[in-house]
Amino acid sequence: MEYKVKDINLAESGKLNIEWAERSMPVLRMLREKFSKEKPFSGITIGACLHVTKETAALVRTLKAGGAEVYLAASNPLSTQDDVAAALALEGIHVFAWRGESESEYFWAIEKVIEASPNIVLDDGADLHATIHEKHKDLAEEIIGGTEETTTGVIRLKAMENEGTLIYPIIAVNNSYTKYLFDNRYGTGQSTIDGILRATNVLLASKTVVVAGYGWCSRGIAMRARGMGARVIVTEVNPIRALEAYMDGFQVMKMEEAAKLGDIFITSTGNINVIGPEHFKLMKDGAILANAGHFNVEINVKVLYEMAKGKRKIRPNLVEYDLGDKKLYLIGEGRLVNLVAAEGHPSEVMDMSFSNQAMAAKYLLENGKSLERKVYKIPDEIDEEIARMKLKALGIEIDEMTEEQRRYVNSWRL
Amino acid sequence: MEYKVKDINLAESGKLNIEWAERSMPVLRMLREKFSKEKPFSGITIGACLHVTKETAALVRTLKAGGAEVYLAASNPLSTQDDVAAALALEGIHVFAWRGESESEYFWAIEKVIEASPNIVLDDGADLHATIHEKHKDLAEEIIGGTEETTTGVIRLKAMENEGTLIYPIIAVNNSYTKYLFDNRYGTGQSTIDGILRATNVLLASKTVVVAGYGWCSRGIAMRARGMGARVIVTEVNPIRALEAYMDGFQVMKMEEAAKLGDIFITSTGNINVIGPEHFKLMKDGAILANAGHFNVEINVKVLYEMAKGKRKIRPNLVEYDLGDKKLYLIGEGRLVNLVAAEGHPSEVMDMSFSNQAMAAKYLLENGKSLERKVYKIPDEIDEEIARMKLKALGIEIDEMTEEQRRYVNSWRL
Amino acid sequence: MEYKVKDINLAESGKLNIEWAERSMPVLRMLREKFSKEKPFSGITIGACLHVTKETAALVRTLKAGGAEVYLAASNPLSTQDDVAAALALEGIHVFAWRGESESEYFWAIEKVIEASPNIVLDDGADLHATIHEKHKDLAEEIIGGTEETTTGVIRLKAMENEGTLIYPIIAVNNSYTKYLFDNRYGTGQSTIDGILRATNVLLASKTVVVAGYGWCSRGIAMRARGMGARVIVTEVNPIRALEAYMDGFQVMKMEEAAKLGDIFITSTGNINVIGPEHFKLMKDGAILANAGHFNVEINVKVLYEMAKGKRKIRPNLVEYDLGDKKLYLIGEGRLVNLVAAEGHPSEVMDMSFSNQAMAAKYLLENGKSLERKVYKIPDEIDEEIARMKLKALGIEIDEMTEEQRRYVNSWRL
Amino acid sequence: MEYKVKDINLAESGKLNIEWAERSMPVLRMLREKFSKEKPFSGITIGACLHVTKETAALVRTLKAGGAEVYLAASNPLSTQDDVAAALALEGIHVFAWRGESESEYFWAIEKVIEASPNIVLDDGADLHATIHEKHKDLAEEIIGGTEETTTGVIRLKAMENEGTLIYPIIAVNNSYTKYLFDNRYGTGQSTIDGILRATNVLLASKTVVVAGYGWCSRGIAMRARGMGARVIVTEVNPIRALEAYMDGFQVMKMEEAAKLGDIFITSTGNINVIGPEHFKLMKDGAILANAGHFNVEINVKVLYEMAKGKRKIRPNLVEYDLGDKKLYLIGEGRLVNLVAAEGHPSEVMDMSFSNQAMAAKYLLENGKSLERKVYKIPDEIDEEIARMKLKALGIEIDEMTEEQRRYVNSWRL
How do residues B251-299 score in pLDDT, each as one tens digit? Answer: 999 999 999 999 999 999 999 999 999 999 999 999 999 999 999 999 9
Measured between CA atoms, how close is D39 to chain A, in angstroms? 30
As a whole-number percent, the residues of chain A with pLDDT over 90 amount to 99
Local structure of residue A296 (DSSP, 8 states): T
pLDDT the model gives residue B303? 98
Structure confidence by residue, pLDDT tens digits, A72-93: 999 999 999 999 999 999 999 9
Distance CA B23, CA B41 (A): 24
Distance CA A276, CA A304 (A): 8
Q: Is the per-residue pLDDT at A414 higher than 90?
A: no
Cβ pair A399:B254 closer than 8 A: yes
Q: Which residue of C has its CA nearest to A247?
A: C206
Which residues in C lie closer than 8 A to residue B203 (C-beta atoms)?
A: 24, 186-187, 190, 346-349
Query: Average pLDDT in the A62-66 region?
Result: 98
Cα separation values, B365 from B121, B369, C9, Å: 11, 8, 57
Measured between CA atoms, how close is B76 to chain A, in angstroms? 14
Structure confidence by residue, pLDDT tens digits, B293-328: 999 999 999 999 999 999 999 999 999 999 999 999
Q: Which positions of chain B have pLDDT values less than 50?
A: none
Whether pTM > 0.95 for this model: the answer is yes
Q: Which of B20, B24, B318 sits opposite C315 (nearest CB)?
A: B20
Distance CA D139, CA D115 (A): 10
Q: Which of C198, C204, C226 sits opposite B190 (nearest CB)?
A: C204
What residues of D are in the A interface, CB distance below 8 Å? 13, 16-17, 19-20, 23-24, 186-187, 189-190, 193-194, 197-198, 200-206, 224, 226-229, 286, 312, 314-315, 318, 342-343, 346-349
pLDDT band at C414 (very low <50, low <70, confident <90, very high): confident
Enter the ipTM.
0.96
Measured between CA atoms, how close is A392 to chain C, in angstroms? 30
Interface mutation target, options C269, C351, C399, C406, chain D, most CBs of D under 10 Å: C399
Interface mutation target, options C202, C203, C206, chain A, most CBs of A under 10 Å: C206
Distance CA C401, CA D269 (A): 11
Q: Which of C231, C248, C249 sits opposite A251 (nearest CB)?
A: C231
Pair B348, B29: CB distance under 8 Å: no
Distance CA C110, CA D241 (A): 37
CB atoms within 10 A of CB A172: 26
Contacting residues for C37 by C-beta, under 8 A, at least 6 apart: none
A188-218: buried (b, 16+ CB within 10 Å) or exposed (e) per residue? bbbbbbbbbbbbbbbbbbbbbbbbbbbbbbb
Distance CA B319, CA A302 (A): 68
Q: What is the CA radius of gyration of chain D?
A: 22
pLDDT the model gives residue A205? 97
Cβ pair A157:B252 closer than 8 A: no
> Among residues C182, C190, C174, C244, which one has the least CA distance to residue C213?
C244
Interface mutation target, options C201, C206, C209, chain B, most CBs of B under 10 Å: C201
Nearest 5°: the CA angle B396, C235, B226 is: 70
pLDDT the model gives residue B137? 96
> Among residues C201, D222, A222, C226, which one has the least CA distance to residue B227?
C226
Which residues in D lie closer than 8 A to residue C387 (C-beta atoms)?
A: 239-240, 242-243
pLDDT the model gives residue D1? 75
- What is the sign, positive or negative, of the torsion defined by CA atoms of C250, C251, C254, C260? negative
Which residues in D lie closer than 8 A to residue C401 (C-beta atoms)?
A: 237, 271
Structure confidence by residue, pLDDT tens digits, A124-152: 999 999 999 999 999 999 999 999 999 99
Distance CA C189, CA C208 (A): 16
Pair B93, B64: CB distance under 8 Å: yes
Q: Is the per-residue pLDDT at A49 higher than 90?
A: yes
pLDDT the model gives residue D414? 83
Nearest 5°: the CA angle A48, A50, A55 is: 110
Give the helix/strand (H/E) hosting C130: helix C127-135
> Among residues D395, D279, D403, D291, which one has the least CA distance to residue D340?
D291
A261-271: buried (b, 16+ CB within 10 Å) or exposed (e) per residue? bbbbbbbbbbb
Q: Which residue of A has its CA nearest to B274?
A: A405
Structure confidence by residue, pLDDT tens digits, C115-146: 999 999 999 999 999 999 999 999 999 999 99
Measured between CA atoms, how close is B311 to chain A, in angstroms? 28
Local structure of residue A83 (DSSP, 8 states): H
Contacting residues for D315 by C-beta, under 8 A, at least 6 apart: A13, A16, A17, A20, D199, D200
The interaxial angle of helices C239-247 and D380-394, nearest 10 deg, is 50
CB atoms within 10 A of CB C177: 22
Q: What SS3 string covers chain D?
A: CCCECCCHHHHHHHHHHHHHHHHCCHHHHHHHHHHHHHCCCCCCEEEEECCCCHHHHHHHHHHHHCCCEEEEECCCCCCCCHHHHHHHHHCCCEEECCCCCCHHHHHHHHHHHHHCCCCEEEECCCHHHHHHHHHCHHHHHHCCEEEECCHHHHHHHHHHHHHCCCCCCEEEHHHCHHHHHHHHHHHHHHHHHHHHHHHHCCCCCCCEEEEECCCHHHHHHHHHHHHCCCEEEEECCCHHHHHHHHHCCCEECCHHHHHHHCCEEEECCCCCCCECHHHHCCCCCCCEEEECCCCCCCECHHHHHHHCCEEEEEECCEEEEECCCCEEEEEHHHCEHHHHCCCCCCHHHHHHHHHHHHHHHHHHHHHHHHCCCCEECCCHHHHHHHHHHHHHHHCCCCCCCCHHHHHHHCCCCC
Measured between CA atoms, how close is A232 to chain B, in angstroms? 15
Alpha helices in A164-211 (DSSP H): 177-179, 188-200
Give the helix/strand (H/E) hosting C284: none
Pair B337, B195: CB distance under 8 Å: yes
Which residues in B lie closer than 8 A to residue D251 (C-beta atoms)?
A: 231
Q: Is the per-residue pLDDT at A387 higher than 90?
A: yes
pLDDT the model gives residue C236? 98
Q: Is the per-residue pLDDT at A396 higher than 80?
A: yes
pLDDT the model gives residue B25? 98
Interface mutation target, options C185, C240, C273, chain D, most CBs of D under 10 Å: C240
Cβ pair B130:A410 closer than 8 A: no
One digit per residue, pLDDT tens: chain D, 414 residues?
799 999 999 999 999 999 999 999 999 999 999 999 999 999 999 999 999 999 999 999 999 999 999 999 999 999 999 999 999 999 999 999 999 999 999 999 999 999 999 999 999 999 999 999 999 999 999 999 999 999 999 999 999 999 999 999 999 999 999 999 999 999 999 999 999 999 999 999 999 999 999 999 999 999 999 999 999 999 999 999 999 999 999 999 999 999 999 999 999 999 999 999 999 999 999 999 999 999 999 999 999 999 999 999 999 999 999 999 999 999 999 999 999 999 999 999 999 999 999 999 999 999 999 999 999 999 999 999 999 999 999 999 999 999 999 999 999 998
Neighbours of chain B (3+ CB pairs under 8 A): A, C, D
Distance CA A126, CA A138 (A): 18
Local structure of residue A142 (DSSP, 8 states): G
Structure confidence by residue, pLDDT tens digits, C46-85: 999 999 999 999 999 999 999 999 999 999 999 999 999 9
Query: Average pLDDT in the A182-195 region?
Result: 97
* C&D contacts, CB < 8 Å: 159
Cβ pair C348:B202 closer than 8 A: yes
Cα separation values, A184 from A67, A228, A243, B240, C150, Å: 30, 18, 20, 15, 48
Cβ pair A398:B271 closer than 8 A: no
> Among residues A103, C198, A351, which one has the least CA distance to residue B316?
C198
Local structure of residue C163 (DSSP, 8 states): H
* Strand D45-49 to D69-73 pairing: parallel
* Strand D145-148 to D327-331 pairing: unpaired
pLDDT band at A237 (very low <50, low <70, confident <90, very high): very high
User: Residue A252: beta bridge partners?
Assistant: A234
Pair B65, B47: CB distance under 8 Å: no
Q: Which of C229, C247, C248 sits opposite A249 (nearest CB)?
A: C229
Measured between CA atoms, how close is C211 to chain D, in angstroms? 13
> Among residues D303, D300, D305, which one has the least CA distance to residue D275?
D300
Distance CA B271, CA B15 (A): 36
